[in-house]
Amino acid sequence: MKNISTKLVPWSLALAAWGSSMAYAAQDLPGGPAVNQLNLHPPVTRIAVEQHWLHWMMLIICTVIFIGVFGVMFYSIWKHRKSKGAQAANFHESVKVEIAWTIIPFIIVILIALPATKVLVAQKDTTNADLTIKATGYQWKWGYDYLTGEGAGLSYISTLDTAQRQMSNSGDVSQAPVDYLFKVDNPLVVPVGKKVRVITTANDVIHSFMVPAFGIKQDTIPGFVRDTWFKAEKTGDYYGQCAELCGKEHAYMPIHVKVLSTQDYTAWVEAEQKKLAAKADDPNKVWVLADLLARGEKVYASNCAACHQANGKGAGPIKPLDGSAVVLGPTADMMHAVLEGRANGAMPAWKQLSDTDLAAVVTFAKNHWSNKTGQLVQPAQFVAARGGKFPEGGGSAAPAAAPEAPPAAAPEAAPAPQAIAPKAGPYQVFFDTGKSALDDAAQAEVKKAAEYWRAHKDEKIALSGFVDATGSADKNAELAKERAQAVAKLLTDSGIAADRIEMRKPQTLTAGSDGADKQARRVDIVAAQ
């Protein structure tokens, strides 16, 4: 007995510790979920109040119907049971019963439909908004752009607090705060008593913008724009989450809305505008390696480490950056990756970051962990890349990026790159808006690509079409297909075997969806991986 009790003590202590940690972690969050919450969130908007009323009204109606139907059924079974000698009646057609069970349900449906329709119509009335904010879903964070109203021009990314993410990864939540997995670095800030229109879209996969206290839930779909609205009637902090399963980090993209008084909101906007002005970078500034690495480390921690890991090793299907051929290869390859994404959105595009941040994070990845390329990318190169001009060859940064490089190179080595005219790509073929015909410049680019691949007969070619988000998805996909087919035909006419050409699924670029973005009107010719 003594041995048994001795063995049970550690287990009992461990169970008690686990129970205490769980009890500590499970706490009510004002403005968010509560422990053992059975009802909807306490409403903060008029729409949410109406939703609560509808919820209770329909619950009461359904309960009354349930009690009435089953009450009559059980009464009939008991009153007219066989043991009391009851005899089953045999009759056909009762006009009164037919009328009753037609009219009564009709009245019930009307009683439910009228107030429900009123609320549904009000939910979709996004007109006359005081403030318009675009909420963009990313894997796995939210981007907020203030489009109209006080604060117009502000833009930032909202990411789960790094310390809470690390706590989740460790598995030790004994010291979890009340806002565990809801704390973000940059909450969405809005004024009280103002109608806020929220335009939703997504950069990669379907997400869903949901804040229960406001009574809003709107899917965010790549290439599409939806909208919803709310008017918070109380100041405070309110929480929501992505309500659409969007990948392995789905649980780590909370929504934190901070509702301020009118005066406090004005003060916040002024402060943020000053910060924005102070942080504004000159894209033509030439950075030194040490400064870019320091900034790049911060950008990587905020945006990249969640997937690629702090050690750059990746995890599961997420490819590592440490020792990556893309990172170690031509600068242009990695610039394409961060600006456009990869693998049909599995690696999202990061166009929303500034040119300086993009240059910094690319430089950081190329010179961190075991990657010691010495390559330096300047913001000006990303400015040019957004316009369709990427570094030629891509093996190193522009001369301004590394002023010490020319002395290190032998004078006779400079002409060497010029001797190899064809390169491995990517070759970019651009089209006029809505067109699939190849102009002279496009034909010349295709022929340059054909020249390279005629000399490399063992390599296959991949054609990737890009379109913007204007028009229907079907028309966009067909246009991208026609453009890729035009490129493929010219390649075959130039001596490339058709079986060497791989047609990839078209990609939609939401940036520049007005059709003005040259990058959304192109076909890339690259080596098939």
pLDDT recorded at residue 90: 79
**Which residue type does 311 have?**
N
What are the domain boundaries of the chain? 131-279, 281-402, 421-529
HSE of 170 in the Cβ direction (CA atoms, 13 Å)?
11
131-279 is classed in which CATH architecture?
Answer: Sandwich (2.60)
What gap in Å lies between CA 156 and CA 488, rounded to an integer?
41
pLDDT recorded at residue 517: 62
CA distances from 336 to 208, 252, 272, 385, 449 (A): 28, 27, 31, 8, 18
Contacts of 60 (CB under 8 A, 6+ apart): none
Model confidence, pTM: 0.57
pLDDT recorded at residue 212: 95
**Which residue type does 213 have?**
A
Q: Which segments of the chain have a pLDDT < 50? A: 1-25, 393-422, 511-516
Strand, coil or helix: 427: strand
DSSP H/E element including 262: helix 262-279
**Assigned CATH topology for domain 281-402:** Cytochrome Bc1 Complex; Chain D, domain 2 (1.10.760)
pLDDT recorded at residue 264: 96
The answer to whether domain 281-402 and domain 421-529 are alike in fold is no
CA distances from 269 to 72, 143, 158, 277 (A): 63, 17, 16, 12
Contacts of 254 (CB under 8 A, 6+ apart): 160, 181, 182, 183, 184, 239, 240, 241, 242
421-529 is classed in which CATH architecture?
Answer: 2-Layer Sandwich (3.30)
pLDDT recorded at residue 53: 94
pLDDT digits (tens, 9 = 90+) for 401-417: 333 333 433 333 333 33
- What is the number of residues in the chain? 529
- The partner residues of 241 in beta bridges, in order of sequence, read 210, 254
pLDDT digits (tens, 9 = 90+) for 138-150: 988 999 999 999 9
Name the burial class of residue 64, with classes exposed (0-12), middle (13-18) and buried (19+) by CB atoms within 10 angstroms of its CB: exposed
Contacts of 486 (CB under 8 A, 6+ apart): 436, 437, 438
What gap in Å lies between CA 137 and CA 172, rounded to an integer?
29
Residues 148, 132 contacting (CB under 8 angstroms): yes
